[in-house]
Amino acid sequence: MSKLTAAFLTHYPDLIRYLRRRTHCSELAQDCAHDTWLRLLEKGKQVTAENHRAYVFRVAANIAADWYRRQTREQAAFDGYALSVAHHHAPDTYEEVLAKETLQRLEQALMAQSQRSVRIFMMHRCEEMSYAQIAQKLSVSESTVEKHMMRILLVAHQVFNSAA
């Protein structure tokens, strides 16, 4: 075992505390410590540091700083992209009206269906229940659940195709 590896393992709890203070996040501190370990393994034989503990902590600090810089750059790029997309792709009045009308037609079409079909649809889409869970809860077969879902999906398909 190299001296750097020994220093890393010996001072690991202190290193995690140090990184947690720098990053304000336990998971990120763990990630930075892992990256530190990998960098030490990669460069370990080439390093001739006298104070191995200081070297380990310096590598960890650099990795945390790199993460922060990358995060800042990515956030700035994302913010700029989101702003440009929002500006260039803002829905116009016609698109908004069309979307509202389609939604109203969909709501009317769904309300024209049986309560059981609508309930099954809502259980599946809103409550994220599987067909098997719905069948068990309503004491019906999975085939029955599938038939009700197909009715609702067919109605929705017809509404959306008529809007296009």
> Does position 138 have pLDDT exceeding 80, yes or no?
yes
Classify each residue of 112-139 as buried b or exposed e, where b means 16 or more C-beta atoms within 10 Å of its C-beta: ebeeebbebbebbeeeebebeebbeeee
Tell me the domains of the chain and their CATH numbers: 3-87 (1.10.1740), 93-163 (1.10.10.10)
Round the average pLDDT of the chain to a whole number and report it. Answer: 86
Query: Mind listing the pLDDT tens digit for each residue in 16-45?
Result: 999 999 998 889 999 999 999 988 888 877
Confidence of residue 163 (pLDDT cuts 50, 70, 90): low
Per-residue pLDDT at 74: 79
Task: Give pTM, 2 decimals.
Answer: 0.48
Task: Give the count of alpha carbons within 13 A of 18, CB side only.
Answer: 21
Residue 91 has pLDDT above 70, yes or no: no
- Count of alpha carbons within 13 angstroms of residue 31, beta-carbon side: 13
The confidence band for 65, taking pLDDT boundaries of 50, 70 and 90, is very high
**What are the backbone dihedrals phi and psi of residue 140, each rounded to the nearest 5 degrees, phi first?**
-130, 170
